[in-house]
Structure 1
Amino acid sequence: MTAAASIPHSRPTTGLEAWRRRSAVIRLLRWALPALMGALVIALAGYFTLSSIQAGKQTPKVTQTEIKLVGARFMGRMADGRSFLIGAGQAARSDTVMEQVVLADPVLTLGGETGAPSRMTARRGVYDEKTRILRLSGDVRIDNGQGQRVATNDSIIDTRTGKISGEQGFVGDGPLGQVKANSYDVDRDTGRVTMKGRVRARIEK
């Protein structure tokens, strides 16, 4: 009878201990979870700060898209036997279109071996070594070496044939006066200038 009576008293004791253990775990979690979240936030903030500092110190990679040319010169002879020489203050060859050379402050001399060579200057130019066509743009100036001067905004020179043309206006000065037009062509054989579009002339007496 004594052993049978002692069994019911052990159950409340066991339930109380389990409740105490659960309470202790809950208290631990209530303290540990906020601390863990705080540590995680601090770690993330430190990671992003360090990444930003390292990114600022890294030197950006430069993709080489041009090949610089020092002292660039292009020369040859036109169909009539006259020589041509193209020079520039700066030149760069694109690695995507290797036959094209971009010129800064280009200078073209035609017939340098003659007594009166023609000279052309501009701010910019593009020379295609395959087609041998030179395109000048920006304050193009032409001096034929015989007192005739031309100012225009563009000029296309075919160094094979010697033909010169333009579509962005034309102002010519010479001993006889001044002439203006919208476009022009220069004949290779005769040197005659053909002007088109609103041609206006002023003759000096």
Structure 2
Amino acid sequence: MTAAHAPISAEPRRADFERWRRRSRLIRTLRVVLPAVIVLIFLGLIGSVAWSTFNAQPRAAQVGDEPIRLISPRFVGRDDKGRAFVLTAESAIRDRLDYQRVILKKPALVLDENGPDQMRINGADGVFHEQSGKLELSNGVRMEDAENAFTTAASLFDTKTGEVVGSGPIQGAGGLGEIQAQSYGVYGKGETMVFKGGVRTRLETKK
């Protein structure tokens, strides 16, 4: 007796073929998607670094641009006549555009302190130019020495020469009496005072 062989079904082959085709499509897709994902991650890292760099630059510049603030500053020196001067203030801020320019709050200058030519000048605001040694005072400026006391709107004091000049109105009392003028100057060691512009005086006779 001869045994009969059963016919081989095509279904398993078709199923294998379908699985192979799906796997092939998946591999092709991954070959495209994975490099694209890697590129996106790389671009994201570059963007993050660039953002951090550009963001940090303005902050660094802002910190560097902040003015230097001094509390209770004290400047000392001598004029060309050998008189020592001391300049103090409530606070001082260096101009960030001009390092030699110091903006002062409530400046007070004493020239030849405890000496024969002592002079005091103070005001609400001031600017000290370190390179030229000139001190600008404004808003309620008061000048006084052993014989004179004057108030004025503004004055310019040269710490190198010891001279004081101003173009604003000045009024006060000196050794001879009361004086009003539109401009003034103090020269030498304070022994010479020149008043100009609408000068008015009221002399006092010493008994």
Please confirm whether the aligned pair reaches a TM-score higher than 0.5, indicating the same fold.
yes
* Contact 1:65–1:96, Cα closer than 8 Å, also in 2: no
What's the offset of the Cα at 1:191? 2.0
Query: Which residue number corresponds to residue 160 of structure 1?
Result: 160
Change (3 A) 1:194 1:115: closer
2:135 maps to: 134
Name the count of aligned residue pairs. Answer: 144
* Unaligned residue ranges in structure 1 (runs of 5+): 1-60
Q: CA offsets, 1:97-142, max 9 Å, x none?
A: 1001000000000001415521111000000000000000000000
Residue 179 of structure 2 is matched in structure 1 by 179
The runs of 5 or more residues in structure 2 that have no matched partner are 1-58
Question: TM-score w.r.t. structure 1 length?
Answer: 0.66
* 1:76 aligned counterpart, secondary structure: strand
1:189: how far off? 4.0
2:137 maps to a residue whose letter is: L
In 2, Cα distance between equivalents of 1:96 and 1:125: 17
1:76-115 map, 5 Å: 76-115=77-116
Identity %: 33
Mapped to 2, the partners of 1:198 and 1:176 lie a distance apart of: 18
Assess if the C-alpha contact under 8 Å between 2:117 and 2:190 holds in 1. no
Alpha-carbon distance in 1 for matches of 2:196, 2:186: 12
Instruction: Name the CA distance, whole Å, in 1 between partners of 2:190 and 2:90.
Output: 31
User: Structure 1: how far apart are the matches of 2:144 and 2:169?
Assistant: 16
- Cα distance, 1:95 vs. partner? 1.6
- Matched position secondary structure for 2:106: strand
Moved over 4 A (4+): 61-64
Residue 119 of structure 1 corresponds to which residue in structure 2?
Answer: 120
Aligned match of 2:198: 198
2-structure distance, mates of 1:127, 1:201: 32
Preserved CA contact (<8 Å) 1:183 1:196: yes
Deviation of 1:184 (Å): 0.5
C-alpha displacement of 1:94: 1.5
Is structure 2 residue 68 aligned with structure 1 residue 71?
no
- 2:148 counterpart of 1:148: yes
